């Protein structure tokens, strides 16, 4: 099994002034050699946040995000993820249970890989059947 990291965790890490390797070393509850990755859409969310900032704040956030992108393996949105995405989306639609587009892509990526999602957002992800959620 592995863990797909949601942007909510990565933003919280930055706000707490904790480095990524520190988070992994204390309390991330990872199995030995358990893979950790992020979905490509998570990188887009983080980069969107950087582009909304200005000046020194933007420079600092950009450095942080680029470091994460360089250090955390990235999982693409490929045809396998697209198939899972379509299945999850149809199931949620039939129940009338909306989930944000980006969260659904993250969930589909995790389910396709057989990974859990590590998140601080417990509104959307628990609605998705078959997705294991870890609160970090």
Which comes out higher in pLDDT, residue 25 or 11? 11
What are the sequence ranges of the domains in the chain?
Answer: 3-135
Q: From the options 1.10.10.10, 3.40.50.1010, 3.50.30.30, 3.60.15.10, give the CATH code of 3-135.
A: 3.40.50.1010
Calculate the alpha carbon distances from 101 to 39, 88, 89, 92 in Å.
13, 11, 9, 12
Starting at the edge strand found earlier in the chain, the sheet holding 116-119 runs: 74-75, 36-39, 3-5, 116-119, 133-135
Nearest in space to 118 (alpha carbons), one of 5, 16, 31 = 5
Q: d(Cα 37, Cα 3) in Å, to the nearest integer?
A: 6
Residue 116: pLDDT over 90? yes
Residue in the structure block whose two tokens are 């956030």: 61
For 14-57, what is the HEC assignment? HHCCCCHHHHHHCCCCCCCCCCEEEEHHHHHHHHHHHHHCCHHH
Ramachandran area for residue 42 (φ above 0: left; ψ -120 to 50: alpha; else beta): alpha
pLDDT classification of 31: cutoffs 50, 70, 90: confident
What is the per-residue pLDDT across 59-96, written as a single tens digit (0 to 9) for each? 999 999 999 999 999 999 999 999 999 999 999 999 99
């Amino acid at each position: 099994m592995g863990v797909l990291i949601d942007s909510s965790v990565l933003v919280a890490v930055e706000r707490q002034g904790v480095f990524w390797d520190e988070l992994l070393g204390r309390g991330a509850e990872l199995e030995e050699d358990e893979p950790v990755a992020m979905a490509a859409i998570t990188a887009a969310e983080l980069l969107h946040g950087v582009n909304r900032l200005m000046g020194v704040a933007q420079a600092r956030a950009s450095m942080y995000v680029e470091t994460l992108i360089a250090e955390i393996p990235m999982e693409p949105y490929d045809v396998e993820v697209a198939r899972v995405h379509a299945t999850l989306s149809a199931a949620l639609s039939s129940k009338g249970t909306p989930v944000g587009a980006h969260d659904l892509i993250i969930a589909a990526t995790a389910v396709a890989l057989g990974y859990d999602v590590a998140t601080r957002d417990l509104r959307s992800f628990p609605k998705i059947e078959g997705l294991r959620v870890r609160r970090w």
